[in-house]
Amino acid sequence: MTATASGMRVGKLDAARRQLRTAITLWFNDGDPISVHTLAFAAYEIMHAISEKRDPTRHDLLFDSALIKDEHLRQWNAIIRKHANFFKHADRDGDSVIEFDPTISEFFILYAIVGRELCGESPSDEELAFMWWLQIYSPHLLTEEGRTMVPDRIPINNLAYLRRLSKHEFFEAWREARRQNDKRGIPFGRHTIQLS
């Protein structure tokens, strides 16, 4: 991003990264779930398109999942875009109401992070915090390799402590651990969490 006389110049990838960081921060702080979803979806949509353009043979993401038969991809996309489109548009259905499960947003956050990785970009602190949260609190979603990552990097007493925290408390503890490790010159993120 660069400042100009009339505002700022922002690239698509930078916009997506900002949307994703904001979505994650709101999510950790139990912010408005509609805003979380809208921002996470917008970030995912950009990451999806850019990662596909940079590498047409990349791993599949949500919109082009290899798990969905080609003849059902259109229906699949309509289903997973339904809430985001509802929150953005009112040209045909201004008076309608929709049922919404906010946990859906977590998948858009996750796949936006995967898309960013496929774009060859480094993760933000917020993305790393979300990935640590996922590994600590939802290990059932992970592969065997993913489940072994956390115990190998977090002392067991810290792991037990972290599992008792709310999302907000975890985010604050993670940010403080990050600050402390930065002061000590200790690599962070995918390496270790040492709580003082």
User: What domains lie within the chain, and their CATH numbers?
Assistant: 2-122 (1.20.120)
CA distance 95 to 110: 31
pLDDT at 25: 97
| pLDDT mean values, one per 10 residues, the chain (196 residues) | 77 95 97 95 91 83 74 76 76 76 90 89 91 84 69 70 89 86 68 47
pLDDT at 39: 96
Look-up: residue for tokens 């003082």?
196
What pTM does this model have? 0.80
Evaluate whether 54 touches 117 at the Cβ level (below 8 Å): no
Question: From the CB of residue 13, how many other CB atoms can be counted at a distance below 10 Å?
Answer: 16
Burial class (CB in 10 A: 0-12, 13-18, 19+), 163: exposed
Which helix H or strand E contains 9, and what residues bound it? Answer: strand 7-9
CA distance 45 to 50: 9
Could you report the per-residue pLDDT of 41-52, keeping only the tens digit for each?
Answer: 999 999 988 988
pLDDT at 176: 87
> Which residues, in sequence order, are CB contacts of 58 under 8 Å at separation 6+?
51, 52, 118
CA distance 174 to 177: 5
CA distance 146 to 190: 12
CA distance 117 to 120: 5
Burial class (CB in 10 A: 0-12, 13-18, 19+), 165: middle
CA distance 11 to 192: 33
pLDDT at 191: 45
pLDDT at 13: 94
Question: From the CB of residue 107, how many other CB atoms can be counted at a distance below 10 Å?
Answer: 14
* Residues pairing with 2 in the sheet: 9
Secondary-structure percent of the chain, ordered helix, strand, coil, rounded to 5: 65, 5, 35
